[in-house]
Structure 1
Amino acid sequence: MESLNDVKRLLVMAILAGKVMLKNGAETYRVEDTIKRICKSRNIDFAEAFVTPTGIFLSVEYKGEVLTYIKRIKSIKFDLNKIALVNEFSRQFVNSNMSIDKGFEILNDIDNIKTYPKSLRLIFGGFAGSFFTLLFKGSFTDFVSTFIISSILVIVMEFLNRKNFTFFLSNIIGSSIVTILSIISVTLGFGTDMDKIIIGSIMLLVPGVAITNAIRDSISGDFLSGISRGLEAIIVATAIAFGVGATLKISFILFGGM
């Protein structure tokens, strides 16, 4: 490194790499390792990163000067492609003389990559739910009903995310809509088994990545992150159960059992 200003820019770039990874669902130990590797690749005397699911803390020392940077992460989604791209970038940066400016350019490009087209998300979101219905031995009509309901659920959840609903409330609303549509589907004769339609559709809401990351973080010794992600998964599961249960109870009270 040529100057303290370069160290500051390297620190900010490393935080940006960690931010892109963390907000797209990466495990905390992976984020910490990436940040430290980027910093130490440019002869930093000391670099230590501490990452939680909602924030990144980084301190570096260079020629007696200690610099600290804190970044708050408010929203987390899941895009494993961006995580893989940042992993690839970090290897290129560490094993080459890539400039910091070029690093910023690559990371900003990765961060701004658009997700899959809406039509593709609707189709494969529908298939994801409908094949779960088949897995639970649903009929072909249940498969078709679940496909339609799951596609609608994708639209609803994207709308709620754009409106900045909390993940607890959005999961309650999403699971309630799934239940209402499943009841309507069976009542009109488009489906035969309401339970399997509901189960298949709400699988899109199940926090599988959060559960997996909670286990992996805990195994790696990051118990704070493991507990945080585990609690997140429990809250989401509770919201789903509440949305389905409350909607079914209301329907039974108003219209009787099916």
Structure 2
Amino acid sequence: MVNIFQKKVLILAIYAGEIMMKNGAEVYRVEDTITRICKACRMDHVEIFATPTGIFVSLDNGGEDDDPLTYVKRIDGIETDLNKISKINHFSREFTTTDLSVDDAMKQLKEIDETKPYPIPLRLLGAALVASFFSLIFGGAPVDFCVAFVVGMFAYAFSRFLGKFDINFFVRCFCSCAGAAFLALVASSWIDAAAYQPVIIGTLMIFVPGVAITNAIRDFLSGSMLSGICRMMEAFLIAVALAAGAGVVLKLWSVIGGVFG
């Protein structure tokens, strides 16, 4: 017979782990959060196996008459939202140290999951600043800063536009970087003082998978080898997409007789 309380705890723990995994948390952090939630509800036997594409949890009270409950949750699409991860960390600490009920905890998780990201104008501004300041770091001039500001904003906006059609992240990166490279080349050919190299590099930095690389290393160090390999391969493929998008446009520009600035 199914224990209703155990089922609620299992669904709560899985939901918390799902939110964390979908927003870029490390596997060991997801497993630790699920374990703490289950232990706080006096579930003595908890087994968790998490990967970037799925979470598997099994638990029971350890009694002779208890039937273990198992839940498998598939993870579709991973973004990066450190704000939600921080909120789940705070939630797990509150849940394990207070008398918060499972039903109230589920309401909090739903509120966290429905938290809206930063407004689009603010994210566009952030992307533009990333591209422009990185162009200066890589040897750009003040005019390159201005060009990268506009190109970076366009590249990020185009990526978000493609995302509305459920286009995978690799294709979005390829197309966005290809468009950014084309705009940088056009700008460098029209403006004598502008150089396309720092503009392109600065724009590419918007899409560099820094979180995936960091999480892959941390998963390796924590012993989650499968997750580390998956995340490292993800980062590698994204890097290939970035390089291919810019490289294809540079090659086509030279073939059709474009003049580099």
TM-score, normalising length: structure 2:
0.96
Which structure 2 residues correspond to residues 184-199 of structure 1 after superposition, within 5 A?
184-189=186-191, 192-199=194-201
Please give the alpha-carbon distance, in whole angstroms, between the structure 1 residues aligned to 2:69 and 2:163: 35
Amino acid at match of 2:6: V
Shift of 1:163: 1.0
Amino acid at match of 2:36: R
Work out whether residues 215 and 226 of structure 1, in 8 Å CA contact, stay in contact via their aligned partners in 2.
yes
Amino acid at match of 1:226: G
Where in structure 1 are there 5+ consecutive unaligned residues?
A: none
Shift of 1:45: 2.3
Please give the alpha-carbon distance, in whole angstroms, between the structure 2 residues aligned to 1:102 and 1:157: 37
Please give the alpha-carbon distance, in whole angstroms, between the structure 2 residues aligned to 1:12 and 1:256: 58
Shift of 1:257: 4.6
Please give the alpha-carbon distance, in whole angstroms, between the structure 2 residues aligned to 1:215 and 1:190: 43
Spell out structure 1 runs of 4+ moving beyond 2 A.
Answer: none
Please give the alpha-carbon distance, in whole angstroms, between the structure 1 residues aligned to 2:193 and 2:180: 13
Please give the alpha-carbon distance, in whole angstroms, between the structure 1 residues aligned to 2:57 and 2:258: 58
Cα deviation 1:189-215 (Å, max 9, x = unaligned): 176111111000110011000000000
Amino acid at match of 1:252: S
Identity over aligned residues, as a percent? Answer: 42
**Cross-structure match for 1:107:** 109
Please give the alpha-carbon distance, in whole angstroms, between the structure 2 residues aligned to 1:160 and 1:73: 21
Shift of 1:24: 0.3
**Cross-structure match for 1:33:** 32
Residue among 88, 92, 97 paired with 1:95: 97
**Cross-structure match for 1:82:** 84
Shift of 1:49: 1.0
Range 66-75 or range 167-176, more displaced: 167-176
Q: Secondary structure at the match of 1:48?
A: strand
Where in structure 2 are there 5+ consecutive unaligned residues?
A: none
Query: 1:45/1:225 Cα in 2 relative to 1: closer, same or farther (>3 Å)?
Result: same
Work out whether residues 141 and 190 of structure 1, in 8 Å CA contact, stay in contact via their aligned partners in 2.
no
Work out whether residues 141 and 192 of structure 1, in 8 Å CA contact, stay in contact via their aligned partners in 2.
yes
User: How many residues in Structure 1 have an aligned counterpart in Structure 2?
Assistant: 256
Work out whether residues 173 and 243 of structure 1, in 8 Å CA contact, stay in contact via their aligned partners in 2.
yes
Which structure 2 residues correspond to residues 1-258 of structure 1 after superposition, within 5 A?
4-62=3-61, 63=63, 64-189=66-191, 192-258=194-260
What is the aligned-residue RMSD (CA, Å)?
1.2
Please give the alpha-carbon distance, in whole angstroms, between the structure 2 residues aligned to 1:52 and 1:143: 40
Work out whether residues 9 and 100 of structure 1, in 8 Å CA contact, stay in contact via their aligned partners in 2.
yes
Amino acid at match of 2:47: E
Range 85-94 or range 59-68, more displaced: 59-68
Range 7-16 or range 155-164, more displaced: 155-164
TM-score, normalising length: structure 1:
0.97
Please give the alpha-carbon distance, in whole angstroms, between the structure 2 residues aligned to 1:81 and 1:10: 24
Range 247-256 or range 216-225, more displaced: 247-256
Q: Secondary structure at the match of 2:140?
A: coil
Please give the alpha-carbon distance, in whole angstroms, between the structure 2 residues aligned to 1:191 and 1:105: 56
Q: Secondary structure at the match of 2:71?
A: strand
